[in-house]
Amino acid sequence: MSDVSETSETAPRGLRLLRLAQGSLRGALGLVYPPTCIACQAAIGEPHSLCAACWSGIRFIERPYCERLGTPFSVDIGVPLLSPAAIADPPVFARARAVAQYDGTASALIHRLKYADRPDLARALGTMMVRAGAELLKDADVIVPVPLHRWRLWQRRFNQAMALASIVAKESGIDCDPSLLVRVKHTRQQVGLTKAQRQQNLQGAFRVPESSRPAVKDRRVLLIDDVLTTGSTANAASRALLKAGAAKVDILAFARVVVEA
């Protein structure tokens, strides 16, 4: 009995000492390497965050917005609405949400995440995505990142959608399973293509492996990507998941392109 008593009494003290040491180490590192803004590198008070100037450079997407596409409306009439684009050309996915419009600071952050070897940015961006996608996460059974083709993954060294999905999964407590969707077609870069060209480029690009179909069937999937442009990638990936038996597919991105009316 005395051994058990001593263990239970000393364990909390040891844990407190460990936390104190970790806090001291973080404080010392903060003096040597003070935290900087993840966008402009200006000195700030908290790590993994933005300075006031860069924060003001993000055009956050908040209601009112199209309930299907998540594109913002300029006027709030007090009731949920669909945009003309969602009515004229309904997406394959059920709903899309994004943190911000793809310009200014948001565009710079995505570019650095993808091309400047800064996977650490996923922590801040993914945390913002959890807040923006709260209603989608509430309905989701599983999180799936938009996959890269193996050659693109080899060139880029990491999948930015996977990095974001890992943070969203960790903070929401929802399982992330990247094996549920694969990219089987090495498509050309989407930049500069029209919507029709993007759709053609992505035809047959995604597939749910036969072994993963039971894990997809009747489940509500939350698909994660970094940017929504025309929705062609989201539609192609959603189509593959729905064909494999998914009950519903929602899309959550950090940023989306918004065409001003």
Kindly write down the DSSP assignment for every residue of 214-255, as one continuous string. HHHTT-EEEEEEEEESSSHHHHHHHHHHHHTT-SEEEEEEEE
CATH number of the structural domain spanning residue 213? 3.40.50.2020
Residue 215 lies in a domain: yes
* pLDDT for the residue numbered 260: 72
* pLDDT for the residue numbered 1: 42
Task: Give the tens place of pLDDT for each residue, 75-91.
Answer: 887 788 999 999 999 99
**Comparison of pLDDT for 146 and 16, the residue scoring more:** 146
Taking the C-alpha atoms of residue 92 and residue 236, their distance in angstroms, rounded to an integer, is 8
Residue 51 lies in a domain: no
Report residue 29's pLDDT band, with 50, 70 and 90 as the boundaries. Answer: very low
- Of 9-13, 135-139, 225-229, the range with the lowest mean pLDDT is 9-13
- Of 1-5, 107-111, 134-138, 192-196, the range with the lowest mean pLDDT is 1-5
Residue 32 lies in a domain: no
Report residue 72's pLDDT band, with 50, 70 and 90 as the boundaries. Answer: very high
Under a CB-based contact definition with an 8 Å cutoff, are residues 82 and 71 in contact? no
Terminal alpha carbon distance of the chain:
75
Residue 5 lies in a domain: no
Residue 11 lies in a domain: no
As for how many domains the chain has, the answer is: 1
| Predicted confidence (pLDDT) at residue 112 exceeds the cutoff of 60 | yes
% of the chain exceeding 70 in pLDDT: 82
| Predicted confidence (pLDDT) at residue 18 exceeds the cutoff of 80 | no
**Comparison of pLDDT for 195 and 231, the residue scoring more:** 231
Task: Give the tens place of pLDDT for each residue, 236-246.
Answer: 999 999 999 99
| Predicted confidence (pLDDT) at residue 234 exceeds the cutoff of 80 | yes
Residue 203 lies in a domain: yes
Taking the C-alpha atoms of residue 216 and residue 29, their distance in angstroms, rounded to an integer, is 44
User: Mean pLDDT for the chain?
Assistant: 86
| Predicted confidence (pLDDT) at residue 10 exceeds the cutoff of 50 | no
pTM for this structure? 0.83
Taking the C-alpha atoms of residue 55 and residue 50, their distance in angstroms, rounded to an integer, is 6
Taking the C-alpha atoms of residue 149 and residue 153, their distance in angstroms, rounded to an integer, is 6
Task: Give the tens place of pLDDT for each residue, 32-63.
Answer: 567 899 999 899 988 889 999 999 999 999 99
Report residue 202's pLDDT band, with 50, 70 and 90 as the boundaries. Answer: confident
- Cite the beta strand spans of 102-168 per DSSP E: 142-145
Residue 210 lies in a domain: yes
CA distances to 28, 37, 97, 139, 219 from 31, rounded to whole Å, are 5, 16, 38, 43, 48
* pLDDT for the residue numbered 2: 40
- Angle at which helices 160-172 and 104-115 cross, to 10°: 110
**Comparison of pLDDT for 26 and 227, the residue scoring more:** 227
Residue 16 lies in a domain: no
Q: How many helices (H) and strands (E) does the chain have?
A: 11, 6
> Which residues span the domain enclosing 193?
62-256
* pLDDT for the residue numbered 212: 97
Tell me what the mean pLDDT of segment 144-172 comes to.
Answer: 88
Token pair 């070897």 is at which residue?
117
